[in-house]
Amino acid sequence: MDDTCLIERLSVTSDGAGGQSGSGWTSIGGVVCRVRKTARDPRARVVAERLGTIGVYEVVFPAGSPVKEGDRLTITPFQMPVPTRVMMVEAVLQSTLEVGRVCICVEALA
């Protein structure tokens, strides 16, 4: 895997009326990853089509990585001419025998 990634999760607090509100991003940790523009996995293509956006990426992490839907990823490429990118995790593809954790992400606006 070529790139490094900082995983952040939105912290939520009670709003006092029975609901929750976001209170900022908490760092979960750093992990290596690989970003692919096109979804190779047929399950990934189905999710990408449902999202209906052009900038859909497949991000692969080592098996067991602590990434969840709704997380924010700050990805620093191994090859530095490519700028750091921020992506939002839209789906985590589950499999019975996990070799790598595959996530479907969209690029976030800076």
d(CA 26, CA 24): 7
| Burial group, residue 88, by CB count within 10 angstroms (0-12, 13-18, 19+) | middle
Residue 54: per-residue pLDDT: 58
Q: What is the pLDDT of residues 47-99, one digit of tens each?
A: 656 655 557 888 999 998 999 999 999 998 877 666 788 999 999 988 878 88
Contact at 8 Å (CB) between 44 and 89? Answer: no
Residue 80: per-residue pLDDT: 64
Residue 92: per-residue pLDDT: 92
What predicted TM-score, i.e. pTM, was given to this entire model? 0.76
> Which domains does the chain possess?
3-11+21-107 (2.40.10.270)
Beta strand 85-93 with 72-76 is: antiparallel
Query: Does 39 score more than 60 pLDDT?
Result: no
Beta strands in the chain (DSSP E): 3-14, 20-36, 56-62, 72-76, 85-93, 100-107
Q: In degrees, to the nearest 5, what angle opens at C-alpha 47 toward C-alphas 41 and 53?
A: 115
Residue 110: per-residue pLDDT: 55
Residue 45: per-residue pLDDT: 62
Mean of pLDDT over the chain: 82
